């Protein structure tokens, strides 16, 4: 699809005309200006919602929260919130976390029946003495704060699951293999990082996790340090892809520490990918996808992935952009 058609399809024709898709790193400093970046090009729409908050002098925290709520409510996004692909038992279970510039954190895991998992993660952060609440407890917290239970399984996600069931065998090994087979088309998990007018950083991450996962499985997305990490003095990072692999290397925290040691955002992401390749070996790593995005305290951003076709959406005063990530393994 042509870029313009894509934007029209996303209802974004009225947004500032984006620069052409850019390959790889972008070291142009956004200086004191606000900036928002997120995993995957369709999240250009989520960035626009976050940008609106930033332009109204809102905080990075409010911006990333508003941003991730966009795909959470979008039934067409089958990796996040409403319309997310279910687990192998047909239940949509959501994972999300949020982190602000002061190191405040909140996360929910395996949450059912509540579309805006990020809002419940924020409740955990702001209204409880805890940082992570799972399953039934997370639902209880949401209900106590006025959230209503909804059926999150759309007809098309139900159909996809029924189709998957035809070939799936329910042993864990087969499930993992199936997951890898299906994964190519299922990446739209949102990891979003923003820097506000005051120069503060925040991040949020939201997903329905891997399609057809085992019941109760939790990936990287709601794990602070793995799917998301923010250090206001240094920078922030987020991840997408096979969560098991991101957790293994505590991906986002690793990237922030690399930036602390002086690496630019893209090189920091590349270093995390390199660790994964070293751990897994080339052959196994080639069969996976993991993508990282990073934003430093100076407003520079970058991304890097294991395999090709990962993208990062950017919104700043310079306009709207999609960055095609460089990858460890080249295009086949």
Task: Please list the active-site residues.
Answer: 189
Q: 161: which 2 tokens? A: 């699951």
Q: Least Å distance between CB 228 and ligand SD4?
A: 11
Q: 171: which 2 tokens? A: 């042993």
Binding part of the chain for ligand SD4, among 42-50, 54-62, 241-249, 278-286 by CB under 6 A, reads 241-249
CA distance 312 to 292: 9
Backbone angles phi, psi at 66, to 5 degrees: -60, -35
For residue 69, give every residue at least 6 positions away whose Cβ sits within 8 Å of its Cβ, in sequence order, or none.
Answer: 46, 49, 116, 118, 119
Q: Least Å distance between CB 96 and ligand SD4?
A: 11
Q: Least Å distance between CB 274 and ligand SD4?
A: 19
For residue 36, give every residue at least 6 positions away whose Cβ sits within 8 Å of its Cβ, in sequence order, or none.
Answer: 47, 50, 51, 54, 63, 64, 67, 192, 193, 194, 195, 314, 315, 316
CA distance 117 to 139: 10
The contact mask relative to ligand SD4 for 34-73 (x = CB under 6 A, - = no) is ----------------------------------------
**Which residue of this chain has its Cβ atom nearest to ligand SD4 in the complex?**
243
- Of residues 305, 228, 236, the one with CA closest to residue 265: 236
Q: Least Å distance between CB 154 and ligand SD4?
A: 17
Binding part of the chain for ligand SD4, among 149-157, 167-175, 213-221, 302-310 by CB under 6 A, reads 213-221
Q: Which of 25, 59, 79, 305 binds ligand SD4 (CB under 6 A)?
A: 79
> Which of residues 58 and 84 has its CB atom nearest to ligand SD4 in the complex?
84
For residue 166, give every residue at least 6 positions away whose Cβ sits within 8 Å of its Cβ, in sequence order, or none.
Answer: none
> Which of residues 53 and 210 has its CB atom nearest to ligand SD4 in the complex?
210
Q: Least Å distance between CB 272 and ligand SD4?
A: 14
Binding part of the chain for ligand SD4, among 56-64, 132-140, 238-246, 321-329 by CB under 6 A, reads 238-246
Q: 294: which 2 tokens? A: 């990073």
Confirm if 307 and 316 have CB atoms less than 8 A apart.
Answer: no
CA distance 273 to 305: 7
Within 152-191, the residues that bind ligand SD4 by CB under 6 A are 187-189
Cα atoms in the Cβ-side hemisphere of radius 13 Å centred on 279? 16
Binding part of the chain for ligand SD4, among 54-62, 70-78, 119-127, 207-215 by CB under 6 A, reads 207-215
Residue 210 binding ligand SD4, by CB under 6 A? yes
Burial of residue 201 (CB within 10 Å: 0-12, 13-18, 19+) is buried
- Of residues 283, 325, 289, the one with CA closest to residue 306: 289
> Which of residues 69 and 117 has its CB atom nearest to ligand SD4 in the complex?
117
The contact mask relative to ligand SD4 for 217-236 (x = CB under 6 A, - = no) is --xxx---------------
Q: Least Å distance between CB 220 and ligand SD4?
A: 5
* Chain residues in the site for ligand SD4 (CB under 6 A): 79, 187-189, 207, 209-210, 219-221, 240-243
């Amino acid at each position: 699809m042509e870029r313009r058609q894509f934007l029209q399809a996303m209802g974004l024709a009225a947004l500032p005309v984006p620069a052409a898709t850019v390959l790889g790193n972008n070291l142009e400093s956004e200086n004191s200006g606000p900036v928002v970046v997120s995993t995957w090009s369709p999240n250009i729409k989520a960035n626009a919602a976050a940008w609106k908050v930033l332009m109204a002098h809102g905080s990075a925290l409010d911006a990333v929260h508003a941003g991730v709520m966009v795909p959470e409510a979008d039934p067409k996004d089958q990796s996040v919130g409403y319309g997310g692909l279910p687990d192998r038992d047909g239940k949509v279970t959501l994972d999300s976390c949020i982190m602000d510039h002061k190191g405040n954190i909140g996360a929910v895991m395996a949450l059912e029946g509540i579309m805006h998992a990020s809002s419940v993660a924020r409740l955990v952060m702001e209204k409880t003495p805890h940082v992570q609440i799972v399953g039934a407890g997370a639902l209880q917290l949401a209900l106590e704060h006025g959230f209503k239970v909804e059926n999150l399984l759309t007809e098309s996600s139900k159909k996809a699951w029924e189709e998957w069931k035809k070939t799936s065998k329910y042993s864990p090994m087969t499930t993992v293999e199936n997951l890898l087979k299906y994964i190519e088309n299922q990446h739209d998990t949102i990891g979003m990082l923003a820097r506000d007018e005051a120069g503060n950083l925040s991040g949020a991450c939201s997903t329905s996790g891997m399609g057809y996962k085992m019941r109760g499985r939790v990936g990287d997305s709601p794990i602070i340090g793995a799917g998301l990490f923010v250090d206001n003095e240094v920078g922030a990072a987020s991840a997408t892809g096979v969560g098991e692999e991101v957790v293994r290397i505590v991906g986002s925290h690793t990237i922030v520490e690399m930036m602390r040691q002086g690496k630019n955002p893209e090189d920091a992401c590349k270093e995390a990918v390199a660790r994964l390749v070293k751990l897994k070996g080339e052959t196994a790593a080639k069969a996976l996808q993991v993508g990282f995005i990073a934003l430093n305290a100076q407003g520079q951003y970058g991304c890097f992935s294991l395999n090709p076709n990962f993208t990062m959406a950017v919104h700043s005063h310079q306009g709207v952009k999609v960055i095609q990530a460089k990858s460890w393994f080249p295009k086949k």
